[in-house]
Amino acid sequence: MAGDTEAKARMRGLPGRVRRLVQLLIGAVVVMYTAEYAYTVHRTRAAQWDVPAAALWHVANQRTATSTPRGIVLPLFDAIAPLGLSLLQELRGIDVTLPVEVPHCGDLSGEYAAMLLDQDPTVRVVDVCQEAVQIVDTTSPARWPLFCIDIAHCHKLFRSFNIKVLAVVLSRFQEVMLLDADTLFLQNPMALWETSKYTTTGTTFFRDRISSTYKHLGRRSTGRLSEMQTFLANFDVSKFQSLAAIPRPRPTLDWRNQSPSGDALHLPFQPSDNLLSSHVWHRRSGHMMDSSLMLWNKAKQPRATAILASFIALNGHVQPPSYGDKEYFFLSCELAETQYALSDFGVGVIGSNARDERSTLCGEALHYFPESTNEKAPDVLYVNSDDIITLDTSAAVYRTKARNASFHQDPVSERGLTFDCQFDADLVQLTKHELLAFQKRQEAYARIRERHGRVRSGWLP
């Protein structure tokens, strides 16, 4: 105590500018020491302790409110809040009446939260990082934190794509429709709940572009194995096998002791034909899944939900070699040896940059209704791109017709094209009704931006 008093007296004796500089330096050292201590604790604990599967499933299951079993989860932060607000208007305008959760990580301002509630009082705006920091492993006497040590640690981990995974795990909804803010619907997505894909598996996933052959899932690891194959081979599935899954058929495609590269590969689980027939398995793409729209039923997928939570928990596991969160969902199902559903169709393209006598189109990602119906071409379901706000609807806008998911075009780079292009495609011009959907969304977005400007300036109509 005496030493502390003497130090304070010496500080008071310093010139004002020097004293402030010393105080700033001390503050910086304290912050750095605190952060380093927290991460040292995390690293040490992660190397010694593993989160039990039952604890992860308990966290996801206990938060489910049976009174609202199904809903939309729409993560937002300030930079994309106008997109999210305009998406909510769009959904209500096409008669999507599901309850909505808007999770954030302390990065959604009170102004935007108020605008959300003013627009739709039923929306639940929730800081999932504040929730996550309070969650501990109740099965451990030490009650170790499951997802983050303190709020700063939470911000570091979840002000990222991973907030989408955290939001699904912590959602009060048993059945989740996860949406990105830069999604525009060309038909009502409610029909997705009634497909045989969803009713059978409790999941519906859409496919991503075929690109980045040597990146992400396609990045080479040991020998010529991909990092995805190495990740799957090293994941310990045994601790999750007490949890329920939907039994899936044994694979019909050969995989034992071999990979597409010819290198030895031993997996601790039975892979699905979904994986073994995929472009990522054969190292023809670095992406498999687009998580801009996804359906997930936690009650039908306890084992997969626990594995999904383990990808973001403080357990020392290596995270999947994914660009952001997108591959976590199908990989958790794959490791769970459970059934899951992927769209029958590959991703399409929408845009005005048509070339080669309208056989090549470059533009934004377009998704079709995921289930085949007789011989009828699938309907266009939604577009995923923040360029929905800038698309020139006065120009001719085209889209590609659907291609089966098994289709694989030659590398676009060999034709001097970028990854967002498709060639040798059948193009269709957008209808007036489809263009109107873009116009309405753009107008809603502009109104929201204008209103937010008035709120910030303190002037309201």
The answer to whether 359 and 369 are in contact (CB under 8 A) is: no
Please state at what angle helix 16-48 crosses helix 151-158, rounded to 10 degrees: 70
* Cα distance between residue 304 and residue 297, in whole Å: 10
Maximum alpha-carbon separation in the chain: 87
- The ranges assigned to domains in the chain are 53-332, 348-446
Half-sphere exposure in the Cβ direction for 411 (13 Å, CA): 10
Confidence band for 286, pLDDT divided at 50, 70 and 90:
confident
Confidence band for 110, pLDDT divided at 50, 70 and 90:
very high
The answer to whether 380 and 434 are in contact (CB under 8 A) is: yes
Contacts of 332 (CB under 8 A, 6+ apart): 304, 305, 307, 308, 311
* Cα distance between residue 21 and residue 157, in whole Å: 31
* Cα distance between residue 337 and residue 270, in whole Å: 7
The position carrying tokens 């039952």 is 54
Q: Coil, strand, or helix at residue 373?
A: strand
User: Average pLDDT, stretch 31-38?
Assistant: 44
Confidence band for 52, pLDDT divided at 50, 70 and 90:
confident
Q: Coil, strand, or helix at residue 169?
A: helix
CA 153 to chain CA centroid, Å, is 20
* Cα distance between residue 92 and residue 87, in whole Å: 9
User: How many residues are recorded in the chain?
Assistant: 461
The answer to whether 380 and 186 are in contact (CB under 8 A) is: yes
Confidence band for 456, pLDDT divided at 50, 70 and 90:
low
Query: What pLDDT is attached to residue 17?
Result: 61
Summarised one tens digit per residue, pLDDT across range 53-84 is 999 999 999 888 777 899 999 999 999 999 99
Partners of 126 in the β-ladder: 103
Checking DSSP bridges between strand 360-368 and strand 421-422, what pairing results, if any?
antiparallel
Nearest to 210 by CA among 370, 360, 332, 349: 349
DSSP 220: B
Confidence band for 372, pLDDT divided at 50, 70 and 90:
confident
* Cα distance between residue 394 and residue 391, in whole Å: 9
* Cα distance between residue 288 and residue 19, in whole Å: 57
Partners of 422 in the β-ladder: 361
Summarised one tens digit per residue, pLDDT across range 188-240 is 999 999 999 999 999 999 999 887 777 888 778 767 788 999 999 999 999 99
* Cα distance between residue 383 and residue 368, in whole Å: 9
Q: Could you tell me what percent of the chain has a pLDDT over 90? A: 65
* Cα distance between residue 337 and residue 246, in whole Å: 8
Query: What pLDDT is attached to residue 459?
Result: 45
DSSP labels for 49-118? ----HHHHHHHHHHT--TTS-EEEE----GGGHHHHHHHHHHHHHTT----EEEEESS-S-HHHHHHHHH
350-362 CB burial, b ≥16 within 10 A, e <16: bbbebeeeeebbb
Rounded to 5 degrees, what are φ and ψ at 313? -85, 165
Checking DSSP bridges between strand 100-104 and strand 124-127, what pairing results, if any?
parallel
Checking DSSP bridges between strand 289-297 and strand 175-179, what pairing results, if any?
antiparallel
Half-sphere exposure in the Cβ direction for 38 (13 Å, CA): 16
Q: Is the pLDDT of residue 21 over 70?
A: no
Checking DSSP bridges between strand 360-368 and strand 380-384, what pairing results, if any?
antiparallel
Nearest to 269 by CA among 317, 235, 311, 218: 235
The position carrying tokens 């991909």 is 226
pTM passes above 0.85? yes
Query: What pLDDT is attached to residue 30?
Result: 40
Contacts of 310 (CB under 8 A, 6+ apart): 51, 53, 56, 240, 317
Report the CATH number of the 53-332 domain: 3.90.550
Nearest to 83 by CA among 112, 120, 44: 112
